[in-house]
């Protein structure tokens, strides 16, 4: 982690390649070194020990190391192929890149598209390359809709979809609810599924996956609801007049995120999506000196604004109950 945080790209690459030279498997280097380092960096950012700039610096070093590993190992010899992409809107691509390199090291031919690739562009590439599968990574529930759009794009070409990522791991059933054909939590799971699909492709439906209209409407209205909530919160807490412009903007953003995560929970009909977010946000705010009372206050002003959608309002109330 020290090499990544110092931006020592050349030293990090040399270290990884030296491990490869002494017989360490590429998967071990990715899982036990790069992934562990990235996870620790993320944890330290969450605790406010590191800045966003620090996190981006570390990710850049990890990306360069992945590319170096790829260039120093033999090309795949297997018969299967997969296109790997992040859900539309998801710009956190490092995990998908790691998975891509591990699959390639296992003999799968991989086309890695990186962060947030539009569904229509993915569809054209699938039509061109005809892979055995499309693998979609989703790190935040905010981008559940992106999984569905990519699944629809793949199914038009008869390509099955494998979904994974942090936003799905606590409840794998979410992948199928969003239109994917299977979920994989590990590279071993992905290899097992992809091998089976290579031998016998699953039947896929060439029709749009149903999208929750309530979730879509809530997502579309999130900025407007957040603005109304911000006004109510400002009237409720006069001390907000002492906030800096940056603090005020973050408050408004947090209110919008609350609404958007409720929409994501609506999309998969799973309250846990919202509760998981609240726990994450509460820890984030506490690390930055913001008390839980502020988060509770935000939910309290938003709940009346969500009553036109009874399910969304019930999720907000459940969140208040969870926070105590």
pLDDT, one tens digit per residue, over 89-137 is 999 999 999 999 999 988 899 999 999 989 999 999 999 999 999 999 9
Q: From CA 265, how far away is CA 273, in angstroms rounded? A: 5
Q: Is 158 exposed, middle or buried (0-12, 13-18, 19+ CB in 10 A)?
A: middle
Confidence of residue 77 (pLDDT cuts 50, 70, 90): confident
What's the pLDDT at 214?
A: 92
Checking if the pLDDT of 24 tops 80, the result is yes
Confidence of residue 208 (pLDDT cuts 50, 70, 90): confident
What are residue 172's phi and psi, to 5 degrees?
Answer: -55, -25
In this structure, the number of other CB atoms found within 10 A of the CB of residue 239 comes to 7
CATH class for the domain made up of 1-73: mainly alpha
The string of pLDDT tens digits covering residues 158-180 is 999 999 999 999 999 999 999 99
What's the pLDDT at 192?
A: 93
Give residue limits of the domains in the chain.
Answer: 1-73, 74-210, 213-323
What's the pLDDT at 74?
A: 81
- Strand-pairing partners, residue 85, are 136
Checking if the pLDDT of 5 tops 90, the result is no
- The pair of structure tokens assigned to 33 is 């070194």
**Beta strand pairing call for 109-112 and 182-183:** unpaired
User: How much is the average pLDDT of 243-264?
Assistant: 94
The string of pLDDT tens digits covering residues 29-50 is 999 999 999 999 999 999 999 9
What's the pLDDT at 240?
A: 85
Q: From CA 146, how far away is CA 152, in angstroms rounded? A: 10
Q: Which fold has domain 74-210?
A: Rossmann fold (3.40.50)
Q: Are 144 and 129 in contact (CB under 8 A)?
A: no
SS3 for 119? helix
Checking if the pLDDT of 313 tops 80, the result is yes
Q: Are 237 and 274 in contact (CB under 8 A)?
A: no
Q: From CA 126, how far away is CA 122, in angstroms rounded? A: 6
Average pLDDT value over all residues in the chain? 93
Q: From CA 300, how far away is CA 283, in angstroms rounded? A: 19
User: How much is the average pLDDT of 288-311?
Assistant: 94
What are residue 200's phi and psi, to 5 degrees?
Answer: -145, 95
- The pair of structure tokens assigned to 140 is 């935040």
Establish how many alpha carbons lie within 13 A of residue 224's alpha carbon, considering only the half-sphere containing its beta carbon: 7
Q: Which helix (H) or strand (E) holds 277?
A: helix 271-287
- Assigned architecture for domain 213-323: Orthogonal Bundle (1.10)
What are residue 161's phi and psi, to 5 degrees?
Answer: -120, 130
Q: Is 126 exposed, middle or buried (0-12, 13-18, 19+ CB in 10 A)?
A: buried
What's the pLDDT at 314?
A: 97
- In percent, the amount of the chain with pLDDT more than 70 equals 99
Q: From CA 261, how far away is CA 259, in angstroms rounded? A: 6
Checking if the pLDDT of 150 tops 90, the result is yes
User: How much is the average pLDDT of 138-156?
Assistant: 95
């Amino acid at each position: 982690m020290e090499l990544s945080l110092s931006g020592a790209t050349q030293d990090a690459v040399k270290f990884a390649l030296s491990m490869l030279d002494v017989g360490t498997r590429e998967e071990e280097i990715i899982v036990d070194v790069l992934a562990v380092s990235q996870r620790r960096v993320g944890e330290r950012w969450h605790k406010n020990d590191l800045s966003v700039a620090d996190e981006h610096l570390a990710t850049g070093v990890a990306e360069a190391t992945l590319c170096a590993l790829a260039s120093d190992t033999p090309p795949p010899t297997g018969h299967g192929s997969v296109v790997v992409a992040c859900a539309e809107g998801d710009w956190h691509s490092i995990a998908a890149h790691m998975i891509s390199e591990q699959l390639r090291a296992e003999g799968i031919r991989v086309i890695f598209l990186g962060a947030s690739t539009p569904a229509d562009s993915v569809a054209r590439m699938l039509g061109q390359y005809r892979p055995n599968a499309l693998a979609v990574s989703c790190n935040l529930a905010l981008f559940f809709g992106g999984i569905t759009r990519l699944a629809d794009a793949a199914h038009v070409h008869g390509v099955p979809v494998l979904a994974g990522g942090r936003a799905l791991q606590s409840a794998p059933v979410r992948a199928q609810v969003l239109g994917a054909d299977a979920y994989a939590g590990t590279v071993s799971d992905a290899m097992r599924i992809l091998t089976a699909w290579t031998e016998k492709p699953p039947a896929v439906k060439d029709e749009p996956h149903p999208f929750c209209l309530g979730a879509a409407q809530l997502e579309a209205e999130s900025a407007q609801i957040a603005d109304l909530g911000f006004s109510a919160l400002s009237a409720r807490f006069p001390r907000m007049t002492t906030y800096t412009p940056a603090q005020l903007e973050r408050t408004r953003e947090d209110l919008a995120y609350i609404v958007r995560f409720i929409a994501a929970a609506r999309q998969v009909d799973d309250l846990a999506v919202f509760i998981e977010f609240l726990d994450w946000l509460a820890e984030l705010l506490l690390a930055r000196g913001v008390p839980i009372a502020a988060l509770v206050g935000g939910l309290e002003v938003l709940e009346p604004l969500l009553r036109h959608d009874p399910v969304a309002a019930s999720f907000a109330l459940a969140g208040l109950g969870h926070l105590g």
